Amino acid sequence: MMKAEHRWSLFRVCMAGLAVRGSCWLLLAGALVFAWAAPLLTPWDENPPILQPARAQAAWLYAWLALFTWLPFQAAALGRRLRCEGVLEFFHARGAGPDALCLQLSAAVAVWMLGVMLLACLVCLTVCLPTNPDEARLWLGLVLQQGVLYILVSAPLVLLAAALGTCAGEVIAFLAPVLLLFLGLLAASWLEPLLAGSPSFFHRCTWLVLPHYHLADLSPRLVFKMGPLAHADFLGSLSCLALQGAAISLTGLCVFRTRS
Amino acid sequence: MFLMRTMKLPHQLVTLFAAALCWLVAGWWAGTPADSAQGNPLALRSSAFGSLIARLMKDSLHSYWHGGQREAADVHDATRDVAPAGRLLRPRLARPAAAPPTGSWIAQWIKRLAALEDQRTTRNSPFAIRPAHRRYLSAAADRRVQLAWQFDPGDAALYEIAHFTAVARAATPAAARQAAEQLARQTIAHAFSPRSGLAEALTGAGAAINLLNDQLQPGRSPPATASLRRDWEVLAACLKRYRELRQQATEEAWWSDIPPVRQQEIESYSALLGKIAGTIRQQLETRGILNSASSH
């Protein structure tokens, strides 16, 4: 019992620090406000059936936007602050290993990531739930798949931001995961025809070693109600993202520093 | 030195090696992607937010067509200078003195802000746009039209401009026809997607009319009857879908939520398309492709 408390003390300290911050709660409130307000800006009055998918799209758009901005920034800032103030060194001296400290630190930010993800799922499963029970079952499967893939992408990136925050400047710690996410999620659609279709061996290898976060973006399936991924395809995407996530997490654990 | 001092070499190296291995295996795994975004990150294209982005992009398109100035419709406002596009700054400076602002101070401030905004987008340079620069502007505008059409394939204005630019920029007539047909087929497919609305149905009808017009041109070799009949059926189906949606809009009372200007645009465009469809039907009947009884 004492050991468990000892092991998670940094997590509890970080959580207590974050929970008194207004921006954390604004992030969560913003998810609901954005999912409600953003679709109203679209020309839905000419075609009311597009409003419901637009709500699901807005909810997940917000989750991805949070992963581009607030989450890595907060993780990087927290890592930087704790190391500068000697908190990490203190916990290290009390006997906690660096890997455990890194995991606790990133878990404190990942809790808010999970909050955003759960709110996106909540929006999808309440206001956007199809009335036909069979279709609703498929929709539930799709939303769960999207939630799992989102966690697989975001958790390692948050860990990387927190770990880089302890060994490099805040700006670098923020920009590195954002750049990876941009490459994998947005730039992939432009790079794929250039690199994957190229006859050059070097180009094709470059495509393979880029992050493949586009596999985790199931927004087209949500917006156009295309149904969940087949099990084999989902497991394929899951394995690929899990492996890349493991690589990023291991790199994060490597660069984590506790010394002030 | 820093690295040497802080890294516990074997442990760190093994971890980094494991990370590299994981990344490489993931890359090999992704060699057979299960489901990619198909060039549509976050599903923005063809979605409600895509329509919003396309509408915002239209504003910048006007600016490209008018050499950096706002759209020409602005100059028809009676309270504004009626100078044609490209007029120099000097004559415009005299305007506030000639027509002093009237009304409350709020109205005056609003007018002054509008005047400043006008000046922001007024051409001051005495030099004309050079041909090379004009070519750049034209190419940039084309690219934006293409992108905006991809965001909202159901927008009639964007489709018609994209059709015009695709035909005008093609190297050979055959390439132009192929590009126009591809664009039309994609637009029609979008018009029949489950969540398409009034505007999408009308744009699909416009695309079908373009296809039919191309085949019915006087200089063309006799077109295939089957192809003409198929495109006519597409046109009729698009117009039918529009009529059904229009009726549904009245019955479900969401037609009245559409702004009046937009209502009028939709009504007049549907009337125009209906008239053109009537002319095409007559031509097809004259050629014996359609029976007058079955064509309605």
Say what the pLDDT of residue A230 is: 92
Residue A6's pLDDT band, with cuts at 50, 70 and 90, is low
How do residues B32-46 score in pLDDT, each as one tens digit?
554 444 678 888 888
Q: Distance between CA B35 and CA B26 in Å, rounded?
A: 15
Closest in A45, A186, A247 to B26, CB measured: A247
**Structural tokens at position A36:** 């409600």
Q: What is the mean pLDDT of chain B?
A: 80
Q: How close A239 comes to chain B (CA, Å)? A: 7
On the question of pLDDT at B270 being above 70, the answer is yes
Output the DSSP codes for B91-157.
HHHTHHHHS---S-HHHHHHHHHHHHHHHHTS---SSPPPHHHHHHHHHHHHHHHHHHHHH-TT-HH
Say what the pLDDT of residue B86 is: 30
Q: Do B200 and A51 touch (CB under 8 A)?
A: no
On the question of pLDDT at A106 being above 80, the answer is yes
Strand (E) or helix (H) holding B90? helix B89-93
Say what the pLDDT of residue A191 is: 87
Taking residues B94-99, report their average pLDDT: 46
Q: Distance between CA B289 and CA B226 in Å, rounded?
A: 9
Contacts of A214 in chain B (CB under 8 A): 36-37, 41
Taking residues A68-83, report their average pLDDT: 96
Say what the pLDDT of residue B233 is: 94
Across B47-56, B127-136, B222-231, the highest mean pLDDT is recorded for B47-56
Say what the pLDDT of residue B113 is: 82
How far apart are the two ends of chain B, measured CA to CA in Å?
85
Say what the pLDDT of residue B83 is: 34
Q: Do A47 and B199 touch (CB under 8 A)?
A: yes
On the question of pLDDT at A15 being above 60, the answer is yes
List the domain boundaries for chain A: 4-255
Contacts of A253 in chain B (CB under 8 A): 15
Say what the pLDDT of residue B37 is: 47
Q: Do B42 and A209 touch (CB under 8 A)?
A: no
On the question of pLDDT at B13 being above 90, the answer is no
Across A235-239, A256-260, B121-125, B224-228, the highest mean pLDDT is recorded for A235-239
Residue B95's pLDDT band, with cuts at 50, 70 and 90, is very low
Say what the pLDDT of residue B8 is: 52
Q: Are B3 and A255 in contact (CB under 8 A)?
A: no
Average the pLDDT over each of A144-158, B62-76, B84-98, B281-295 and give the range with the smallest value. Answer: B84-98
Q: Burial, A125: exposed, middle or buried (Cβ in 10 Å; 0-12, 13-18, 19+)?
A: middle
Q: Compare B79 and B148 and report the one with higher pLDDT.
A: B148
Say what the pLDDT of residue A181 is: 97
- Residue among B17, B44, B47 with most chain A CBs within 10 A, to mutate: B47
Q: Distance between CA A4 and CA B85 in Å, rounded?
A: 75
ipTM: 0.80
Say what the pLDDT of residue B31 is: 63
A43 CB contacts (<8 Å, ≥6 apart)? B48, B51, B52, B55
**Structural tokens at position B175:** 């390439």
Q: Do A212 and B22 touch (CB under 8 A)?
A: no
Contacts of B42 in chain A (CB under 8 A): 57, 60-61, 64, 185, 217, 219
Q: Are A243 and B25 in contact (CB under 8 A)?
A: yes
How do residues B136-187 score in pLDDT, each as one tens digit?
888 888 888 989 999 999 999 999 999 998 888 888 988 999 999 999 999 9
Q: What is the mean pLDDT of chain A?
A: 92
Say what the pLDDT of residue A4 is: 52
Handedness of CA B234, B235, B241, B244 (dihedral sign): negative
Q: Distance between CA B72 and CA B65 in Å, rounded?
A: 10
C-alpha distance from residue B151 to each of B40, B52, B154 (Å)? 10, 9, 9
How do residues A117-131 score in pLDDT, each as one tens digit?
999 999 999 999 999
How do residues A162-181 score in pLDDT, each as one tens digit?
999 999 989 999 999 999 99
Contacts of A92 in chain B (CB under 8 A): none
Q: How close B257 comes to chain A (CA, Å)? A: 6
How do residues A206-222 score in pLDDT, each as one tens digit?
888 899 999 999 998 99
Q: Do A209 and B23 touch (CB under 8 A)?
A: yes
